[in-house]
Amino acid sequence: MKYTKADAKAYARQNMKGIWAAALTPFKADGSIDEDAFQNNIRHWVDDLGIEGLFIAGKQGEFFSMTLEERKRTFDLAVAATNGRAGTIMSCSDQNMDVVLDLALHAQENGADYIVVHAPILHFVKDQDEIVYNYYKYISDRVDIGIAMWSHPDSGYLMSPELCNRIADLPNIIAIKYSVPRDMYVELSKLAGDKILVSTASEEEWLDNIIELGWQLYLCSSPPYLLQTKNDRRMHDYTQLAFAGKHEEARKVRDSLNPVRDALKNTRPGGKPQSHQKYWQDLLGQTGGFVRRPMIELTEEEKTATRTAFEQCGLKR
């Protein structure tokens, strides 16, 4: 590791900045991971798009359909492909604590920068705060690597700002991906913004959160490599303008992406987020590949609608 457990918060504050993207995992037609394509995508994202960190094997990456060894393999591939040119945060989320810790220790040993663990799905529980606090404390006590929390509706509940603030006191809790309504992440920023980096996955809210909340980190989803090309890095550009205090210029660049956002959003069929984004990757010249069950592929009609919108959205290639 590049830091000690005691220094995890300070290290993250210094190094976890800018745009971090959640990687999709390209699968071949036979269901195996397309390792070469995965690493080529990563190199493109880092070298051509200027993405500063990658979230590996999360929900976008279909971790739920992968074996433990495959998840570890994607960690290794990502560390090798970034080769120190970008940060890595490895998703160790699982309902089984042994799996969480196995993945966390692998990430700690293979050169990853941080891990992320989403709040567990809880059954037959009404007051979950004590359970969730002890869940993160148990992990924190057993690993040294920096840990990001992750709260999202799929868990069946949302962690309150007060609970997140309590967990933020643990020594190696360094950030949170807080997929919640804006008033909740604003409140958490006020409560714990000096202890952890607070972020959310909404690209459309990213600029306002830099300007209004002083955020330094976009953590993270797929827009950084779906809304940009080597010759059209407008998300990167408006981010840098905002960091430089040039807010009006940043807003103009951000708003110029609306046709691209609309094309991506309006052609996405319900229930097919990964397959739609992977097809968009293919259109961009990246490798999207196939999805694994239980996810399903786009129909030919859905591909045609997506391709037409893509060609008309104004994204420079």
**CA-to-CA distance for 239 and 246, rounded, in angstroms?**
10
Residue 24 is classified by DSSP as P
What pLDDT, in 10s, does the model give residues 95-143?
999 999 999 999 999 999 999 999 999 988 878 999 999 999 999 999 9
Contact status, residue 250 vs residue 241, Cβ threshold 8 Å? yes
**CA-to-CA distance for 34 and 30, rounded, in angstroms?**
10
Percent of the chain topping pLDDT 70: 100
How far, CA to CA in Å, does 191 sit from each of 202, 214, 216? 21, 14, 17
What pLDDT, in 10s, does the model give residues 11-56?
999 999 999 999 999 999 999 999 999 999 999 999 999 999 999 9
Please state the φ and ψ torsions of residue 280, each to the nearest 5 degrees: -60, -40
* Nearest-10 Cα torsion for 82, 85, 86, 87: 90
Residue 64 is classified by DSSP as G
User: Does the predicted TM-score (pTM) go above 0.85?
Assistant: yes
3-state secondary structure of 153: helix
What pLDDT does residue 169 have? 98
What pLDDT does residue 146 have? 98
Q: Which of 141, 146, 139, 136 is nearest to 112 (CA)?
A: 146
What pLDDT, in 10s, does the model give residues 220-253?
899 999 999 999 999 999 999 999 999 999 999 9
What pLDDT, in 10s, does the model give residues 202-226?
999 999 999 999 999 999 899 999 9
How far, CA to CA in Å, does 92 sit from each of 38, 60, 125, 175? 19, 13, 23, 15
| Band of pLDDT at residue 149, cut at 50, 70 and 90 | very high
What pLDDT does residue 125 have? 80
Q: What share of the chain is helix, strand, coil (3-state, %, to 5)?
A: 50, 15, 35
What pLDDT does residue 263 have? 98
